[in-house]
Amino acid sequence: MIKYILKRFLGMIPTMFAIITIGFFLIRLAPGGPFDQEKKVPEQVMRNIEAKYNLDKPLYQQYLMYMGSVLRGDLGPSYKYTDNDVNFYISNSLPNSMLLGSISLLVAIILGVLVGISSAINQNSWIDYTGMSIAVIGISVPTFVVGPVLMYFLALKWQLLPTSGWISSSNGLKTLIMPVITLSFPYFATIARLSRASVLEVLRSSYIRTAYAKGLRSSVVIFKHVLKGAMLPIVSYLGPAFAGIITGSIVIETIFRVPGLGKFFVQSALNRDYTLIMGVLIVYSLILIIMNFVVDVVYAFLDPRISYR
Amino acid sequence: MKKNLLFFIVALMTVVSSFASNNAEEGNMKEPVVFRLINGGEPASLDPAMIQGVPENRIYQSLFEGLVAYDYETARAIPGVAQSWTVSDDNTVYTFKLRQTSWNDGVAITAQTFVDSWLRELDPNTAAPYAWFPSMFVKGAAEYNAGTAGAEAVGVKAIDDYTLEVTLVGPLPYALDAFAHYSFGIAPLHTIAEHGDSWTNVDKIVTNGPYKLKEWVPQDKLVVEKDPKYWDAKNVKVDQFVYLPVEDNNTGYSMFLNGEVDWMTTVPTDRMKEGLLRDDVIVSPNLATYYYVINNKVEPLTDVRVRKALSMSINRTELTERIGQAGQIPSAAMVPTMEGYPALEGNTFNVAEAKKLLAEAGYPNGEGFPVLPILYNTSEGHKKMAEFIQAQWKENLGIDVTLENQEWKTFLSSKNQHDYSIARSGWGGDYQDPNTFLDMFVTGAAMNDMQYENPEYDALIEKAATMKAGAARFEALREAESMLVERDQALIPLYTYVKVNCIDLNKWGGWAPNVLDLHPPRQIYKK
């Protein structure tokens, strides 16, 4: 098992190396540069700027310099936001994305599992239909529609909440409500459907029939036997879900003015801010790879056959 | 027992009375005046030498002050660090008398501060993106920035601690207003020497403007508060400005409607109609032109008759009324109307003449005319404009054009490489003079996207640069503009922009619409 974990862990290194290398060259292929403006600067000024950021050097040399600084933990200066480096912007904005993502995922898990179980136990009743109808809406309506609709009703029409902002503002925790609802909605929907299907499957298995036959109370069967078996697919979904919810909050961050990493990701791509794009790409890739690694390890613990393959 | 009860009552009364007195004190305290505004994007920098763009300029005007500042009504120069100035007879040498003032850490600001700051901006190693702007004005600046001359060649000199002499490249009548631009700003070199690039962080920054930096949370907010050390602090009325970097116009407008911000700098296009009905939405002409640039080297656009036909077949009034919808001013001139310089008529809507010209060029009723693309950057507004023009050319000339949409940087790259036939363009003036719209089209200039080459035009622009302010100079510029948009039709002007601002002027004073859309925070007050 330890050998398996070590192997998987070391496997992350070439993956990251490949991502950084491909990312570096791919971004440079995009037309337009970081310093192109509508008010074009004269050639001499452009030459000065390019020399300052080593953009006048051959691409392979820029790549080697970049890799060298990444290995030292320095993600370089931002070409657009020149007062601070990429490390600064990432360390300032990532915690906000993580906080929003974690709360949203927690809400999605609690509500999703509750609705999923209720729907499965009350299969084909109004509870089941209501729960699954909400889940269908959550899956099919995109967040960029849900967000503004919530803002229209909760903030503009009923004046219950501020339109947007972050917890550091005077509105405090109230600012979390709408982005959390919007971000957790599709994940809630998926978890609810997964839990329902999984609980139904377990309910039909023979060991549950045996438990009922032994005369156990319904609540004991559900909480002691059904849930234990039914939650495995949910647990395995949480890895990619966590990575997705952190990296997928870009639209929500823009609509609700959350000072998270997603906004930098979009802006840096539009600005061709090469170093900032690379920095965010590295962070997002690390989150994804680490979560996949965690899932692999958890799987290996749950099903030891995997680690022998 | 009784004793205890008495003690409890006395203690309770003491606590209650102390609360009451506290409340009374709080009631007497003046509520700080806070002005919140939507500032578009996250500021790229606070360093006057490194900034460019409107959001950064708004913050610059609260944190820093140069020789002169802008008047909120006219956007013309008013005294800043310089309290007075004189100009030489030939209008090429400005001598500024500085007031005795200091950075907010107490270090004095002298004429040498200006010399050092400007040289830092122009130093090729600083790589200041707006270094080209002072280079257009100050003698020797362009050469120093290009590395072909030393710092001593730059025409800026400290005569004594409080006298600064600036020598210009010519008698540029718009120079004084231009000195208010951030690229002529000053920077605390002693702080920069100590902290390097991170000198603009909240705990390190030293400024000289009416406000000082209080808080800066990237992508969240930037807060400045009144600086009691500012030389004119007694006339600064707003205690705090909160700059919110909101890029989404719908979010920003919703915040304004919800009373969460005091100033929103636009109205989303799809909400313009309802927005224009509001008392707190203010529309004003802007010193900016929306135009289509024509690649003068692409067939058949090389033929001036074709270019004129394209211009004359567009109904600009219908374009602004149906598509613009915000009160844009239809115009076939490159330079918008300004003091002493009314806009040219240009080659306006005349279908019969357009058809005649196209036929003369060899394309009667558009027959045989190649299908050209109109290039525009991703935006619903630009798309609608392009669709309208496509329909006009089809209807009035019988020619087909396609629409090509590109993402912003890709679009800029295509234009830079002259890889287009007809493309959308826009230009906002940096100062109130026709030259800001005309000198960029001289042969080989960076902004000359259409590759226009006309020695006569170049000579007129050069001649105007050596002339004093007055009718004769405007006449030279007018002749040049006429060459550009009437005789040669190197590009197709479509309309003059307007600025749409959302602000309640019953509540706020010291804010007025002006052609440069500049609203210095120092002058804003609560009514």
Residues 6+ apart with CB under 8 A from A149: none
Percentage of chain A exceeding pLDDT 70: 97
Lowest mean pLDDT among A264-278, A287-301, B113-127, B433-447: A287-301
Q: Which residue has the higher pLDDT, B250 or A236?
A: B250
Q: From the candidates B63, B130, B200, B220, which should be mutated to test the interface with A, based on the most A CB atoms within 10 A?
A: B220
Confidence tier at B17 by pLDDT (50, 70, 90): very low
Tell whether the model's pLDDT for residue B263 goes beyond 60.
Answer: yes
Q: Which residue has the tokens 């080697």?
A: A64
Hey, are the CB atoms on A48 and B413 less than 8 Å from each other?
A: no
Compare all CA atoms of chain A with the CA of B51 and give the residue at the minimum distance: A82
Q: Which of B327, B329, B338, B337 is nearest to B281 (CA)?
A: B327
Q: Using CB atoms, pick whichever of B47, B244, B446 lies closest to residue A40.
A: B446
Which positions 450-509 of B are in contact with A (Cβ < 8 Å)?
A: none
Hey, are the CB atoms on B45 and A82 less than 8 Å from each other?
A: yes
Contact B441, B447 (CB under 8 A): yes
B197 vs A contacts (CB less than 8 Å): 77, 82-83
On whether any CB of chain A is under 8 Å from the CB of B121, the answer is: no
User: Cβ-count burial of B18 within 10 angstroms (0-12 exposed, 13-18 middle, 19+ buried)?
Assistant: exposed
Flag whether the ipTM exceeds 0.85.
no
User: Rounded mean pLDDT of A83-93?
Assistant: 90
Confidence tier at A308 by pLDDT (50, 70, 90): low
Compare all CA atoms of chain B with the CA of A30 and give the residue at the minimum distance: B410
User: Cβ-count burial of A233 within 10 angstroms (0-12 exposed, 13-18 middle, 19+ buried)?
Assistant: middle
Radius of gyration of chain B (CA): 27
Which positions 402-431 of B are in contact with A (Cβ < 8 Å)?
A: 407-414, 416, 425-427
Q: Which of B164, B182, B226, B201 is nearest to B64 (CA)?
A: B182
A165 vs B contacts (CB less than 8 Å): 260
Compare all CA atoms of chain A with the CA of B56 and give the residue at the minimum distance: A81
Shortest alpha-carbon distance between residue B438 and chain A (Å) = 14
Hey, are the CB atoms on B132 and A45 less than 8 Å from each other?
A: yes
Q: Using CB atoms, pick whichever of A48, A148, A162 lies closest to residue B260.
A: A162
User: Rounded mean pLDDT of B36-63?
Assistant: 92
Three-class DSSP category at A21: helix
Hey, are the CB atoms on B416 and A36 less than 8 Å from each other?
A: yes
User: Rounded mean pLDDT of B164-181?
Assistant: 93
What pLDDT is attached to residue B212? Answer: 96
Hey, are the CB atoms on A270 and B255 less than 8 Å from each other?
A: no
On whether any CB of chain A is under 8 Å from the CB of B365, the answer is: no
B147 vs A contacts (CB less than 8 Å): 44
On whether any CB of chain A is under 8 Å from the CB of B22, the answer is: no
* pLDDT averaged over every residue in chain A: 87
Hey, are the CB atoms on B129 and A41 less than 8 Å from each other?
A: yes
Model confidence pLDDT, tens digit, residues A116-169: 988 988 888 899 899 999 999 988 888 888 888 998 888 888 888 888 888 887
Confidence tier at A241 by pLDDT (50, 70, 90): confident
Compare all CA atoms of chain B with the CA of A166 and give the residue at the minimum distance: B220
Percentage of chain B exceeding pLDDT 70: 94
How many CB pairs below 8 A link A and B? 146
Dist CA B318 CA B41 (whole Å): 32
A81 vs B contacts (CB less than 8 Å): 42-45, 218
On whether any CB of chain A is under 8 Å from the CB of B254, the answer is: yes
Tell whether the model's pLDDT for residue B191 goes beyond 80.
Answer: yes
Shortest alpha-carbon distance between residue B344 and chain A (Å) = 24
Q: Which residue has the higher pLDDT, B15 or B36?
A: B36
Hey, are the CB atoms on B198 and A31 less than 8 Å from each other?
A: no
Dist CA B202 CA A289 (whole Å): 36
Where helices occur in B325-379 by DSSP H, the ranges are 351-360
Helix (H) or strand (E) holding B26: helix B2-28
B41 vs A contacts (CB less than 8 Å): 267
Shortest alpha-carbon distance between residue A80 and chain B (Å) = 6
Q: From the candidates A27, A37, A45, which should be mutated to test the interface with B, based on the most B CB atoms within 10 A?
A: A45
Residues 6+ apart with CB under 8 A from B506: B279, B527
A256 vs B contacts (CB less than 8 Å): 251
Residue A270 carries which side chain, given as an amino acid letter? L
Tell whether the model's pLDDT for residue B69 goes beyond 90.
Answer: yes
Dist CA A87 CA A282 (whole Å): 11
Q: Which of B80, B84, B49, B86 is nearest to B67 (CA)?
A: B80
Contact B188, B199 (CB under 8 A): yes
Shortest alpha-carbon distance between residue A84 and chain B (Å) = 6
Q: Which of A237, A264, A262 is nearest to A249 (CA)?
A: A262
What pLDDT is attached to residue B4? Answer: 52
Q: Which residue has the tokens 């804003």?
A: B524
Q: Which of A278, A273, A279, A283 is nearest to A55 (CA)?
A: A273
Compare all CA atoms of chain B with the CA of A271 and give the residue at the minimum distance: B409
* DSSP state letter for A145: H
On whether any CB of chain A is under 8 Å from the CB of B274, the answer is: no
Hey, are the CB atoms on A168 and B217 less than 8 Å from each other?
A: yes
As given in the structure block, the two tokens for residue B126 are 């600083």
Shortest alpha-carbon distance between residue A129 and chain B (Å) = 35
Helix (H) or strand (E) holding B379: none
Q: Please provide residue A195's backbone torsions phi and psi, each rounded to the nearest 5 degrees.
A: -65, -45
What pLDDT is attached to residue B26? Answer: 45
Three-class DSSP category at B266: coil
Q: Using CB atoms, pick whichever of A45, A92, A264 lies closest to residue B131.
A: A45
Domains and CATH numbers, chain A: 1-72 (no CATH), 91-271 (1.10.3720.10)
Q: Using CB atoms, pick whichever of A83, A165, A260 lies closest to residue B46.
A: A83
Percentage of chain B exceeding pLDDT 90: 76
Q: Using CB atoms, pick whichever of A30, A93, A155 lies closest to residue B218.
A: A93
Question: What angle, 0 to 180 degrees and rounded to 10, lies between the N-to-C axes of helices A86-121 and A261-271?
Answer: 120
Shortest alpha-carbon distance between residue A76 and chain B (Å) = 13
* pLDDT averaged over every residue in chain B: 90
B145 vs A contacts (CB less than 8 Å): 44-45, 48
